Structure formats: structure tokens, C-alpha cells
């Protein structure tokens, strides 16, 4: 049987000297904002007082959720603002360009966010699109979404959501530049958005359930998407007050012409391999429990060291400010990387979702996490694996890896000055055997979530952070000593940067 995941990954792997392609088609540059012409919009509220937590508060074991949480329009506005915001404006090719609070490969922002309202005070039940360019909600259709939601998602009897958040990706936004490899970035970037969303929900103490597995067809139809151009990749349901309705609502209906909004350029090049793998990853397998990925990379650690993880780390700004300040900073400088900062990042990586209502999402076992460290960390320089459950690190290979990995990462020399390179890896054969092709989604979404968490944590400490999805895949596997079916999925460089060197 063909392993479609491994075949797709092989076909989209970069090889030195073989990644040059045609020049970018600037005449068909994708629109950064999805627009629904003629639809009613509702302006979001910008409350004067938002969350005052630090990132460490939201990732701590003692975070308490409000299981009587009641969603209203002001709280929803705060959640949306803290999930996805425009943070800076630049002028590029005679146009205004807006940077955002969510990391994205090439700043192409393929993701979109939709809200299903089921019991939100001050907002009619229905389906809404978060129009970030307008700081508003576009009204796609009013009415009940619960019957279709129940068909598309395996909701437990106790799950009565107050609001449902749908994260989608528009294929052409990233494929315009990265072609077929863009599917990796659709997943990573959607994971980035999902992590920002979970942090925003935690800041409101709103219990939530995450879903990576759902009926693609039902959910895409519910949102009015053109599935050849845009698809749903993740869902979050907020829980709280039990849903009550005195009358039977009509189901929400989205106009058929809304599907046209999934097209973001006049002429869009189609990449059938993206659609094919996404279609093949539609089935949800009820299979064996997934083994610990860290044990299936073909690596033989030399020794293990328990790490004392801190409850707090040296944060200089609060969580909302850290989200707003998030940037991909690349001007790394070699310098001191204090022990409390290093262990703070390990704590960020080891923190699990703390909503007791969470549905299993494969976050813990769909990927393995490791890192390359230089001497500034206080550890022996080398390649380490991180056991997130045991909070322990294992030395795989001693040595100085930074310059070699920078060479592997398409010769981005500035990466050599990082203090650590965080590595997200997976055995593709294990993923396929336990979850089918859908496991590929799980692994990249999980990697994106942790990558965004590192970004926000770094911003809170004024430390540089930059995610890297472009590297020579075979060279990366060879450098790390991975077996033939295990791959590096994502790398995040972290360390002091020139901008904050004097702080």
C-alpha cells in the first residue's frame, strides 16, 4: 500500500541546488484579507481593561477555569483581538502591508477564523467570519448551527458549546510562493493561530475542547467554503452555561455565492498534490494508541538529565502585550542566555493544555521535541531530546551544531548565532500506521502550536525568536541522525537579539 504521507513529504522536500522555481506572479498576488462583498458587518469592541495575566500564568498547572463561563459579545471581542490582531504597518510595492500577531511563513497569512455563535449574549446565533481588516464580524448566516455541528464533530452529551471557533486555510495564499510545499505551512500557520486562540481562551478562563478530527465535508459546507480553495483544519468549542432556547431556531444558511470569497486572486494556480493529500487525510481512523514519538526516531540518547522547571520565568511584559509584540526577529547576537530564561523555554514546551474538558488532540505524541544547544545554555553543546512528560533532557550527540544547521536551513547564516534551535520531528511511518494520512495534519498543527507558544513566550522575555520551515530536508535528517522514515518538520531559533541586547 502506498504511504501517501511519506510520498507527499518526499515530493515537497528541498534539495540543495534544486529549489529554484519560476518568479513570483505579482499580477496575481493573493489578497491578504478575505472579503464578503455586501454582507452585514458588526464592529468588535475594544474593552479598556483586558487580561492582566503573564504567559506563565496561562501555562501554569494551577490555572483555574470558570465552568459556569458565560460568553458575551465583549468577551468574544477580547478573545478575537488577542487571537489575531494587526500589529504594524509597512509600505511595500506601493501598498500598505500589515503584520500580524500570528507567525506565518513568508508573512502570507493563509489562515482565516470563523465563529459559530450558539449562546453568546448580545450576538444572534449563526456563523460569522472574523474580518480582521475591518476589525469586525461579517454575518454569513443567522440561525442554529448545532444540528450541523453535531453531524460534523463528535460532541459528547455533556458538551454544549457557547461559541465555536473554526480555523481554516486558503490554499493559494501560501502556494503562490511555496507551491506544493505550502501545505506544510497551511498546517503550521493554522497551528500558530490555534495556539493564540487557546491562550486567549485561557486568559478568559473559558473551558474549551479542541478538535483536529471532524467530518471535513460537513464542516466546510457549514462555513460556506469552496473546498478546492479553502478548508477547515481545526475547531475549538468553548464550554460554559448550558444552552437554552425557548423556540426551535431555523438552521443557519450561508448564501451559495459566499463560496466565491475563498478565491483571493484573479488567477490562481492549482496544486493538485495539496488537494489530493488533504482529501486522502479526510478519514478518521479509530486505531491503536499512538506510541511516544520520541522513541521512534532511530536515536540513541547517551544520558538523561532531569530539569527543574520554574513556575515563573523573567517576563517583562504581560500576556496581551507579548502577543502584540510578537515578531520574527533574526538579528541574533551571541551572548549570555541565562539559566532562568533557558529553563523558562523548556517549561513553555512542557506545559500541556490544562482545560479539563480537552478532547484528545494528539499534541503530546504526534511529534517529538528536541533542541540544539550552544555553550550559553549551561549545558554541554549538542543535540538533545526533550521528554515533555518527564521534564528531562537526553543528550543524543555532543558538539557544535549551530553553524551546520544554519547551512542546512537554506544557508541562513544568522541562525548560527542562536542560543538554541528547537526541533519538532516525527516518524511519518508511525503517524500513518496509527492515524492514517490525517496524522500528518496532527503533527504539523502540534508543531505550529508549540512554535507560536515559543514566539509569545520569547516576546514576554524580550528574547529573539524565529520559526523556520525552509530547510534541506535530507540534510537535516542526516545531520540529526534520524532514521529513514523520521523527519524534521519545523525549527524555531531562539536567543538574544541586537534589539534587546541592552535590556
User: Mean pLDDT throughout 127-147?
Assistant: 96
Poorest-pLDDT segment among 20-24, 57-61, 158-162, 321-325: 158-162
pLDDT at residue number 19: 84
Q: Between residues 324 and 291, which one has the greater pLDDT?
A: 324
pLDDT category at 2 given cuts 50, 70, 90 is: low
pLDDT at residue number 288: 63
Distance CA 30, CA 175 (A): 10
pLDDT category at 289 given cuts 50, 70, 90 is: confident
Residues 343-368: pLDDT tens digits? 999 999 999 876 544 444 444 689 99
pLDDT at residue number 362: 40
Distance CA 386, CA 129 (A): 38
Is the CATH code 3.40.109.10 the one for domain 293-500?
yes
In percent, how much of the chain has pLDDT > 70?
A: 94
pLDDT at residue number 148: 93
Task: Show the cell assigned to 323.
Answer: 502577543
CB atoms inside a 10 Å sphere around CB 468: 22
Q: If residue 259 lies in a helix (H) or strand (E), which one and from where to where?
A: none
Residues 363-397: pLDDT tens digits? 468 999 999 999 989 899 999 999 998 999 999 99
CB 493 within 8 A of CB 333: no
Which region, left, alpha or beta, applies to residue 310 given φ > 0 means left and ψ of -120 to 50 means alpha? beta
Give the DSSP letter of residue 107.
Answer: G
pLDDT category at 243 given cuts 50, 70, 90 is: very low
CATH of segment(s) 32-280:
3.40.109.10
* Phi/psi of residue 489, nearest 5 degrees: -100, -35
* Nearest residue to 489 (alpha-carbon basis) of 212, 187, 176: 187
pLDDT category at 50 given cuts 50, 70, 90 is: confident
Terminal Cα-to-Cα distance of the chain (whole angstroms): 56
Q: Edge-to-edge, what's the strand order for the sheet holding 111-117? A: 41-43, 136-142, 126-131, 111-117, 163-170, 230-238, 208-211
Mean pLDDT, all residues of the chain: 92
User: Mean pLDDT throughout 485-503?
Assistant: 89
3-state secondary structure 145-189: CHHHHHHHCCCCCCCCCCEEEEEEEEHHHHHHHHHHHHHHHHHHH
Q: What is the four-CA torsion angle of 336, 338, 344, 346, rounded to 10 degrees? A: 70
pLDDT category at 61 given cuts 50, 70, 90 is: confident
Q: Is the pLDDT of residue 240 over 80?
A: no
pLDDT category at 247 given cuts 50, 70, 90 is: low
Cross-strand partners of 370: 385, 423
Distance CA 178, CA 394 (A): 35
Length of the chain: 503
pLDDT at residue number 358: 40
Give every CB contact of residue 88 below 8 A, 6+ residues apart in sequence.
98, 99
3-state secondary structure 397-464: EECCCHHHHHHHCCCCHHHHHCCEEEEEEEEHHHHHHHHCCHHHHHHHHHHHHHHHHHHHHHHHHCCE
User: Mean pLDDT throughout 484-488?
Assistant: 98
pLDDT category at 254 given cuts 50, 70, 90 is: very high
Task: Show the cell assigned to 228.
Answer: 478546492
CATH 3.40.109.10 in the chain, residues?
32-280, 293-500
Task: Show the cell assigned to 68.
Answer: 459556569
Within 13 Å of residue 279, how many CA atoms lie on the same side as its CB? Answer: 9
pLDDT at residue number 356: 42
CB atoms inside a 10 Å sphere around CB 376: 19
Distances (CA, A) of 83 to 394, 403, 417: 34, 35, 30
* Phi/psi of residue 156, nearest 5 degrees: -75, 160
The owner of cell 478573545 is 79
pLDDT at residue number 336: 85
Which region, left, alpha or beta, applies to residue 5 given φ > 0 means left and ψ of -120 to 50 means alpha? alpha
The owner of cell 520551515 is 469
Burial class from Cβ neighbours inside 10 Å (0-12, 13-18, 19+) for residue 502 reads: exposed
Q: Between residues 334 and 485, which one has the greater pLDDT?
A: 485
Cross-strand partners of 234: 167
Residues 90-106: pLDDT tens digits? 988 788 899 999 999 99
Residues 67-86: pLDDT tens digits? 889 999 999 999 999 999 99
* Nearest residue to 226 (alpha-carbon basis) of 263, 254, 253, 190: 263
User: Mean pLDDT throughout 231-245?
Assistant: 80
Distances (CA, A) of 29 to 90, 103, 174, 267: 17, 19, 10, 9
Amino acid at each position: 500500500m502506498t504511504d501517501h504521507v511519506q510520498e507527499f513529504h518526499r515530493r515537497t522536500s528541498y534539495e540543495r541546488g534544486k529549489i529554484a522555481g519560476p518568479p513570483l506572479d505579482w499580477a496575481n498576488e493573493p489578497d491578504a484579507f478575505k472579503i464578503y462583498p455586501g454582507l452585514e458587518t458588526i464592529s468588535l469592541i475594544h474593552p479598556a481593561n483586558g487580561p492582566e495575566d503573564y504567559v506563565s500564568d496561562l501555562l501554569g498547572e494551577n490555572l483555574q477555569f470558570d465552568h459556569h463561563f458565560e460568553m458575551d459579545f465583549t468577551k468574544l471581542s477580547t478573545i478575537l483581538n488577542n487571537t489575531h490582531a494587526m500589529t504594524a504597518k509597512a509600505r511595500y510595492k506601493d501598498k500598505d502591508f500589515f503584520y500580524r500577531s500570528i507567525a506565518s511563513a513568508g508573512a502570507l497569512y493563509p489562515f482565516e477564523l470563523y465563529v459559530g455563535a450558539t449562546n453568546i449574549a448580545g450576538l444572534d446565533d449563526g456563523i460569522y467570519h472574523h474580518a480582521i481588516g475591518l476589525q469586525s464580524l461579517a454575518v454569513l448566516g443567522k440561525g442554529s448551527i448545532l444540528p450541523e455541528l453535531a453531524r460534523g464533530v463528535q460532541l459528547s452529551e455533556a458538551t454544549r458549546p457557547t461559541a465555536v471557533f473554526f480555523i481554516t486555510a486558503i490554499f493559494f495564499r501560501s502556494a503562490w510562493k511555496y507551491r506544493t510545499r505550502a501545505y506544510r505551512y497551511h498546517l503550521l500557520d493554522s497551528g500558530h493561530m490555534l495556539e493564540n486562540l487557546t491562550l486567549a481562551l485561557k486568559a478568559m478562563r473559558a473551558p474549551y475542547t479542541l478538535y483536529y478530527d471532524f467530518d471535513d465535508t460537513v464542516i466546510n459546507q457549514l462555513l460556506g467554503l469552496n473546498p478546492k480553495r479553502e478548508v477547515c483544519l481545526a475547531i475549538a468549542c468553548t464550554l460554559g452555561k448550558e444552552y437554552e432556547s425557548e423556540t426551535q431556531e431555523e438552521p443557519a444558511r450561508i448564501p451559495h455565492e459566499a463560496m466565491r470569497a475563498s478565491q483571493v486572486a484573479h488567477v490562481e494556480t492549482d496544486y493538485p498534490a495539496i488537494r489530493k493529500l488533504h482529501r486522502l487525510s479526510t478519514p478518521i481512523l479509530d486505531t491503536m494508541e499512538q506510541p511516544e514519538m520520541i522513541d521512534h526516531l532511530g536515536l540513541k540518547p547517551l544520558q538523561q538529565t532531569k530539569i527543574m522547571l520554574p513556575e515563573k520565568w523573567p517576563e517583562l511584559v504581560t500576556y496581551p502585550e507579548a502577543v502584540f509584540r510578537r515578531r520574527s526577529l533574526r538579528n541574533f547576537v551571541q551572548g549570555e542566555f541565562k539559566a532562568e530564561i533557558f529553563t523558562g523555554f523548556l517549561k513553555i514546551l512542557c506545559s500541556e493544555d490544562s482545560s479539563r474538558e480537552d478532547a484528545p488532540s494528539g499534541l503530546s505524541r504526534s511529534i517529538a521535541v528536541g533542541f540544539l544547544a550552544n555553550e550559553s545554555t549551561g549545558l554541554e553543546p549538542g543535540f538533545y531530546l526533550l521528554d515533555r512528560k518527564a521534564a528531562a533532557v537526553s543528550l543524543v550527540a555532543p558538539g557544535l551544531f549551530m553553524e551546520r544547521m544554519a547551512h542546512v536551513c537554506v544557508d541562513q547564516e544568522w541562525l548560527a548565532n542562536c542560543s538554541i534551535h528547537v526541533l519538532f520531528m516525527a516518524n511519518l511511518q508511525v503517524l500513518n500506521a496509527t492515524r492514517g494520512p490525517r496524522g500528518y495534519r496532527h503533527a504539523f498543527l502540534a508543531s505550529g502550536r508549540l512554535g507560536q507558544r515559543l514566539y509569545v513566550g520569547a516576546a514576554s522575555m524580550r528574547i529573539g525568536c524565529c520559526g523556520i520551515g525552509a530547510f534541506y530536508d535530507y540534510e537535516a535528517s542526516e545531520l540529526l541522525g534520524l532514521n529513514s522514515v523520521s523527519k524534521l518538520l519545523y525549527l524555531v531559533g531562539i536567543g538574544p537579539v541586537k534589539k534587546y541586547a541592552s535590556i
